[in-house]
A and B are shown apart, each in its own frame.
Chain A
Amino acid sequence: MSKGKVSKGGAPSLDMTPMVDLAFLLVTFFMLTASFRMAEPVVVDPPASHSDKTLPENTILVSVDDKGRPFFGVSNAEAKVATLLKMSDKYKVKFTEAEVKKFGGMSSFGVDIKDLPRYIDASENERLKFQPQKGVPNDSLKNPQLSDWVRFAAQETNGIYIRERDKAKDAGKDFVGEKVRYAIKADAKSKYISVKEVLKTFTDMKIYRFNLITSLEGGASKPAETGKK
């Protein structure tokens, strides 16, 4: 980089070492802190709120898009794989080992379990155009797939939580894990009734506490909110 150094004298030379050092320091920092978000199958634009609580790490997430389709995701990859295996047993849908592994690294999905092997095999770009993508079936009587996904995922994540806590206890260490939280990410434009259906899936399972994902509202849009009486 520094071609400026000329021994003959006269020509000015610029020492770039500090700049380059800093640049690489920043590269290292951003590389280590960056967490890549997987491409979501649909764009869900959550409504704004004043809540500034960050979403917990360990979540079971159900997204609802503007057409009311539910999508299911689990943050813990280990639990996700175990959930898939349980679902595979219950619905008699076979998955190859490679598919199971690939599923662990995927983001949320919104397909019937019968279409899931095909969905997993598809490339990331093909998934966006995948048909039929009608959301995870959520018919509490005939086809309660969403409810089964949530139930098994809750069992698995809690199982992992307990195992890790006991392991930490045996090793005499402080346990830092979090209990699983149920997150709902719904599009601002979606009808409340479709969110209500998803919530009902949870409340039927005696799960009553949720984290509704919202985006942080900009300070300027509602100035009177902070006004004291």
Chain B
Amino acid sequence: MAEVSEDGSGTGKKGGKKRAKKQSTKIDMTPMVDLGFLLLTFFVLTSTFSKPKSMEISFPAPPLPNEPPVEVKNGLNIILTKDHKIFYYKGQFNAADNKEGKPATQLSETTFSSEGLHKIILEMNSYAHDEIAKLETKVKNKQIADTTFKRMAMEAKGDKRSLTALIKTDDQATYKDVIDVVDELNVCMVGKYVIIDMSAPEYTLLTEKIK
């Protein structure tokens, strides 16, 4: 009843002439309601509920001069290059003719699929992943508080048994690949990762691989 109707009793007479007894003053609200629905449709269609999502990330400060290079324990080096290719090697880089007589580093290729990079990361980060899974069940069973969980999860991620990932790119890698790797690391509960520049011997190895 989108109309304003009044009792017409007060409007009965005009200039002495007799008029219809009940003259209701109805305002036709059709245009207003039409406009209302038009606006409704407009706002429904144009409104965006989802605010953009973002990923927080910290980059390393440049090392101070004379600072010794950090030794990485349980490290995974992920090297990104053109055509969405990923290469990786585990641990420290060993040149072909290193003094310790260690086998020279070889780059292995992998993919973004769940059988590729995801599996490698999970295997190397099983400590943090399992610890956090245990903690999660504890939270569910109300054995520990939420804040305790956060603290202990951080500790597990920072533990030396968990994975440290180094992401390196050449000039051809796309931004999407970098984000995909970082996302994969986040999903696999890796707390220690960094995007850094490739060293020269690594680059030589890579160019041989993708030649």
Contact = CB atoms under 8 A, between A and B. Distances in A.
B53 A47 contact: no
Contact of B1 (A16, A188, A226): A16
A193 B59 contact: no
Interface string B30-52: 10010011011001101110111
A47 B175 contact: yes
Nearest to A45: B176
A188 B176 contact: yes
Interface residues of A, number: 62
Interface in A183-219: 183, 185-193, 195-196, 199, 203, 206, 208-217
Interface in A1-56: 1-2, 5, 15-17, 20, 23-24, 26-27, 30-31, 33-37, 46-47, 49-56
A51 B52 CA distance: 11
Given A1-B33, A193-B171, A50 B187 contact: yes
A90 interface: no
Contacts of A228: 129, 133
Residue among A5, A26, A54, A229 with the highest chain B CB neighbour number at 10 A: A229
For A2, A52, A64, which residue has the most chain B Cβ atoms within 10 angstroms?
Answer: A2
Given A23-B40, A30-B43, A227 B114 contact: yes
B51 A55 contact: yes
Given A50-B187, A192-B177, A20 B61 contact: no
Give chain A's interface secondary structure class: mixed
B105 interface: no
A141 interface: no
Contacts, number: 170
A34 B186 contact: no
Contact of B56 (A192, A210, A227): A210
A214 to B, nearest CB: 5
A69 to B, nearest CB: 13
Interface of A: 1-2, 5, 15-17, 20, 23-24, 26-27, 30-31, 33-37, 46-47, 49-56, 64, 183, 185-193, 195-196, 199, 203, 206, 208-217, 222-229
Given A30-B43, A34-B43, 9 more contacts: A1-B2, A2-B2, A23-B37, A24-B36, A183-B54, A187-B175, A209-B59, A211-B56, A213-B55
